[in-house]
Amino acid sequence: MPEIKVTPLGAGQDVGRSCILVSIGGKNIMLDCGMHMGYNDDRRFPDFSYITQNGRLTDFLDCVIISHFHLDHCGALPYMSEMVGYDGPIYMTHPTKAICPILLEDFRKITVDKKGETNFFTSQMIKDCMKKVVPLNLHQTVQVDDELELKAYYAGHVLGAAMVLIKVGSESVVYTGDYNMTPDRHLGAAWIDKCRPDILISESTYATTIRDSKRCRERDFLKKVHESIERGGKVLIPVFALGRAQELCILLETFWERMNLKAPIYFSTGLTEKANHYYKLFITWTNQKIRKTFVQRNMFEFKHIKAFDRSYADNPGPMVVFATPGMLHAGQSLQIFKKWAGNEKNMVIMPGYCVQGTIGHKILNGQRKLEMEGRSTLDVKLQVEYMSFSAHADAKGIMQLIRMAEPRNMLLVHGEALKMEFLKGKIEQEFNIDCYMPANGETITVSTNPSVPVDISLNLLKREMALGGPLPDPKKPRTMHGTLIMKENVSLVSSEQALKELGLNEHQLRFTCRVQLQDPHSDLDTLHRIYTHLKSLLKGYTIQHVPDGTVMVESIVIKVSSSAEDPNNKVLLLSWSYQVEYSIITTIIPAMLNYLMSSPT
Amino acid sequence: MKLYCLSGHPTLPCNVLKFKSTTIMLDCALDTTSVLNYLPLPLVHSPRLSKLPGWISKDGTINLEKELKECAGRLFVDSQPEFCLPEKELLDLSTIDVILISNYHCMMALPYITEHTGFTGTVYATEPTLQIGRLLMEELVKFMERVPKAQSATCWKNKEIQRMLPGPLKDAVEVWTWKRCYSMQEVNSALSKVQLVGYSQKVELFGAVQISPLSSGYSLGSSNWIIQSHHEKVSYVSGSSLLTTHPQPMDQSSLKNSDVLILTGLTQMPTANPDGMLGEFCSNLAMTIRAGGNVLVPCYSSGVIYDLLECLYQFIDSANLGTTPFYFISPVANSSLEFSQIFAEWLCHNKQTKVYLPEPPFPHAELIQTNKLKHYPSIHGDFSSDFKQPCVVFTGHPSLRFGDVVHFMELWGKSNLNTIIFTEPDFSYLDALAPYQPLAMKCVYCPIDTRLNFHQVSKLLKEVQPLHVVCPDQYTQPPPSQSHRSDLMLELQPPPMPYRRCSVLNLPFRRCYERVYILPELANSLVPSELKPGVSVANVSAILHSKDNKHTLQVTAPAPPSKKRKRVVEEPPVGGAPKPLLSGAVPLEPFLATLQKHGITEVKVEETTDGHILHLQAEDTLIQLEEDGTHIVCDNNEPLR
């Protein structure tokens, strides 16, 4: 029986370094190839030696698919393709293809130039890796080879995020990447059609959360920022350059405009300008409203938000600063945080999920004393606020997607084991399907049961459909007979046609049964009595009295003859062909005999 | 399978395909050449046009002074211009299930079809096609509504009168089907029925056929369509280009193995080379500006204009035109320029790479930024204060009958310093200019039509090898003006099936097979037997389920009552399992052996002409073995049966 195998190399009961291997219909596919934010050693990248111990991966993978540009989904890509070795196609959407190399280069700079690591991928490797990328358009059916096809759906998580349907024959898997089921200020909601995959591999970052309405969260956020500004505090919002940053910028920009606020908003330089430019050029990937109005007013041209310079951090007075990266694990956001942490008037708002091990994660867990590099400690006095603005589906959203796609099996990745456990129970209960949550390196095998497509001759089909009446009647199924001819292709034709095609003669098999009985009537009378009796007995069958002295029950022929010596001694001949349902005959004969024998002479 | 042809214009097609119980309209283009018979609609009062003499027949019996005006020896209808619609009477348009749009020029009749005909189906188009198509429709509506004309001339359409009229009016066809422009409300309603699709996206229609758009390389989002079922494939090729301009290159390989290929939208300028024309365009433009004249370029607001601007971007500095203002005037000029920049996915490779940098894919962004190119919604407002001469003006409509271009014709027509350069191939430039005669302005005709020419198309067809080709009648003979050029027509084997307006073609198709799915349970129960190497047969008895045009075969509910008992006794060695179909002949010797195995020994064999009769004496049973049949005669002997 055909099987689909799924093995996470990363993101199995974990968030970070997403990398999932799928074997389907003899094809091997790698879904995402990310890095882990919480580690700085080997565990940073997925363990590709699982695929092969020695040599390149090209022979073992048919394709690699990257769902979106976040580093925990694409950060290991140049390492995998250039340092481990993979030359096959890498699929991603246009915006991902555009933005991914920039984030990779940024990642490389921080790791190599700032931290001084060696044995890391180079700028040239990023370029070489991107040359292997084949762009995917939404809803386009991409044929990787003759059998393997891909189709991307809008996922809404960040610009260019996609869910992918992977199909081989009638078997299929959907991988969601990260997705968001509620539209926000700049992106639309994820959508998929009822594709009924064998397995739906879904992220489950917010497996147990059901978020309150977005309105409330936004109002809360604005209120907190506003209060802090009012009392002269500085607000730090650590973000990743692309994604939530734009969402929050739009939010603050409109708020500043409405409230006529004067406090400066800064965006840490570098990627900002460029990032906003991507949003302008890929405006078709944003939400309906922005797309509709972009000619008149482009939402990504901000009036109130200015570029940040390092020296501004020491300026007196209130300000709001967006700084990268988002989990306070390095870079500018961390520097500003260190500067501002000692003042309780200040505030840091964490707008998204923080991976274990990062400073962001620590302060969110209430840690007030942080050990910094070089044995120093940092007292955290400023207010720490958490606001879930990261665009992941919550439990409700995940259930909604399951309802949309109607998968036969469910598989959770990209989440914490405990939370997954809870969601798994809910899914199994509500949808009555199996739900898996493999750990890294653990393989899940799901057997599929595909139907066999064959070609039916139109004559046969039309004849059958005509016999079935104008409307199909589910209560009265009809049995169709045909012959399957298996040559290079498989076709189903009527038996007659099959014989003709194969050059064979039909062989008739007939049975005739002689029944002896005593009956004083004339042959014709006997026959007529049989006829009327059968007619009353066998309702729903065609019974005919043919003038040449036979009675036909469907195709069964009944004849009566009497012996020359004794006219009362009659011989009943029943003749039927092999195709006839035997049950009719076993009904007819005893019924007839009983009748004739018992009837008054 | 049938094809109903609702338009006779080869580049403005509208056909309806009936295929496997679906009714599919392929494009619904609007033939706007009819407006050439009308007087231009000036934006400001034109004394010249208003003073034109009316027309009275020579014998004075017909007086159409109000409707028809005479200008430079030609008659023009003085009325709101009207368009020639696709044929509406050939079939009931409310039965159309879907409309497939190939490019934004081929959807302009959409509101006429989707509104007021009872149409309830879906329109499929790519996103650029929808967005730019909307802009072009909006522009058309605005052009018309800006200069409302109360009069709608109909008297001249009277058959008796039209017969008496001179010149092109007399020969105008289908005049009663000509209609005024739709309203914006109708446009919005029509476009709300559009469902967006991406290239190579597979869309199922009622489970019966699958449609899929392919890149055609002609304009942003332009597509050819594949309409196929599991066993039949129709390709619809409309407006395709193999030249490298801004759109994504044409997808040719997916057209392979078509049973029927419907070919429309070849170049209207088979003898003009687009690159050469572009060069001529630039040199004429520079010459006029240097001489102190103005250049007028009548054009559509999207399409070739992007290429013209790109060409000028490279040309401006080398030709010393850095200070010359370029104006683009259209109600949708801004939108068109903005929209062109956001369709990265639909652009050629070079332009896509620019977006990754990120830079705008078209250089006209830079022309706008550096103030070399300015755009205005109309000549009124800001434009009148910014306007400096000499300058270059891009504006519509290319028919010269409405839009801002009319104003510039009146303004610049009298000076021979100025030049009008025609780049759009849709209208004969002499006809377009007719109501402005006499004209001092220079006229240059550089039609740029990037669509396939006959040479390219025959190469393409050789490659994709369709079984049959259907094309407009016009492509099966050389153009009337160049009747000796046999290279300007399609020559194919078998010859293409030509169509004209109102043709109904029976497409040569024999459908033999349909797809059914055998459910796994049933598939497992099948017992194939090999007849000869590589050929196996199995009998199938199953319940056929047909739902949404998908057929599946399921196992019959209970297994038929046991027949096994009888078979064990008497089954000849033709097939082991129960098998309602038998074939071949029963060989005598093995049969006897089998009978013996079952304990039947007393067999008397008698030869007959075509077989044997076996008499099983103990059982009083006769078995007749013949070439193509076996007949078993026995008593009412329950155990034996």
Position A417 confidence tier, pLDDT thresholds 50, 70, 90:
very high
Nearest by CB to residue B629, choosing from A455, A488, A507, is A507
Number of Cβ pairs < 8 A linking chain A and chain B: 232
- CB-based contact (8 Å) between B195 and chain A? no
* A271 has a pLDDT exceeding 80: no
Residues of B within 8 A of A138 (CB-CB) are 198
**pLDDT-wise least confident of A207-211, B80-84, B226-230:** A207-211
Inter-chain contact B561–A274, Cβ cutoff 8 Å? no
The residue in chain B having the minimum alpha-carbon distance to the alpha carbon of residue A135 is: B345
Do A517 and A529 contact (CB within 8 A), yes or no? Answer: no
Inter-chain contact A512–B634, Cβ cutoff 8 Å? yes
H runs (alpha helix) in A109-237 = 123-131, 214-230
* B231 has a pLDDT exceeding 70: yes
- CB-based contact (8 Å) between B177 and chain A? no
Q: Quick: pLDDT tens for B435-450.
A: 998 899 999 999 999 9
pLDDT at position A9 is 95
- CB-based contact (8 Å) between B200 and chain A? yes
Q: How far apart are the CA of B437 and the nearest CA of chain A, in angstroms?
A: 39
Residues of A within 8 A of B628 (CB-CB) are 505-508
Backbone angles phi, psi at A39, to 5 degrees: -120, 150
For residues B552-581, give the mean pLDDT. Answer: 45
Q: Quick: pLDDT tens for A548-580.
A: 778 777 777 777 777 777 777 777 777 777 666
- CB-based contact (8 Å) between A260 and chain B? no
- CB-based contact (8 Å) between B513 and chain A? yes
Backbone angles phi, psi at A300, to 5 degrees: -95, 10
* B560 has a pLDDT exceeding 50: no
Q: Quick: pLDDT tens for A290-346.
A: 988 888 888 888 888 888 888 888 888 999 999 888 888 878 888 899 999 989 899
The residue in chain B having the minimum alpha-carbon distance to the alpha carbon of residue A579 is: B580
**pLDDT-wise least confident of A241-255, B278-292, B489-503:** A241-255
Nearest by CB to residue B581, choosing from A98, A282, A495, is A495
Mutate to test the interface with B, among A137, A165, A499 (most CBs of B within 10 A): A137
pTM: 0.86
pLDDT at position A510 is 74
Inter-chain contact A277–B355, Cβ cutoff 8 Å? no
Answer positive or negative: Cα dihedral of B131, B135, B136, B141. Answer: positive
- CB-based contact (8 Å) between B568 and chain A? no
CA B53 to chain centre: 43
Residues of A within 8 A of B345 (CB-CB) are 94, 135, 137, 284
Q: Quick: pLDDT tens for A27-60.
A: 999 999 999 877 888 889 999 999 998 888 999 9
* A458 has a pLDDT exceeding 70: yes
Q: How far apart are the CA of B233 and the nearest CA of chain A, in angstroms?
A: 16
User: Which of the pair, B425 or B581, is modelled with greater confidence?
Assistant: B425
* A535 has a pLDDT exceeding 90: no
Nearest by CB to residue A456, choosing from B551, B582, B630, is B551
Of B445, B446, B490, nearest in space to B471 by CA: B490
Backbone angles phi, psi at B30, to 5 degrees: -110, 125
Average pLDDT along chain A:
86
H runs (alpha helix) in A178-282 = 214-230, 244-259, 271-281
**ipTM confidence:** 0.84
Answer positive or negative: Cα dihedral of B411, B416, B422, B427. Answer: positive
Nearest by CB to residue B342, choosing from A151, A281, A583, is A281
pLDDT at position B571 is 34
In chain A, the percentage of residues whose pLDDT exceeds 70 is 92
Residues of A within 8 A of B531 (CB-CB) are 502, 504
A178, A181, A186, A187: CA torsion to nearest 10: 60
Q: How far apart are the CA of A320 and the nearest CA of chain B, in angstroms?
A: 27
Please give the Cα distance from A177 to A154 (Å, whole number). Answer: 11
Mutate to test the interface with A, among B197, B251, B343, B540 (most CBs of A within 10 A): B540
* B564 has a pLDDT exceeding 60: no
Name residues 95-154 of chain B within 8 A of A (Cβ): 127
Instruction: Please enumerate in sequence order all residues whose Cβ is within 8 A of that of A260, keeping only pairs 6 or more positions apart, or say none.
Output: none
Residues of B within 8 A of A454 (CB-CB) are 515-518
Position A599 confidence tier, pLDDT thresholds 50, 70, 90:
low
Do B631 and B638 contact (CB within 8 A), yes or no? Answer: no
Do B496 and B471 contact (CB within 8 A), yes or no? Answer: yes
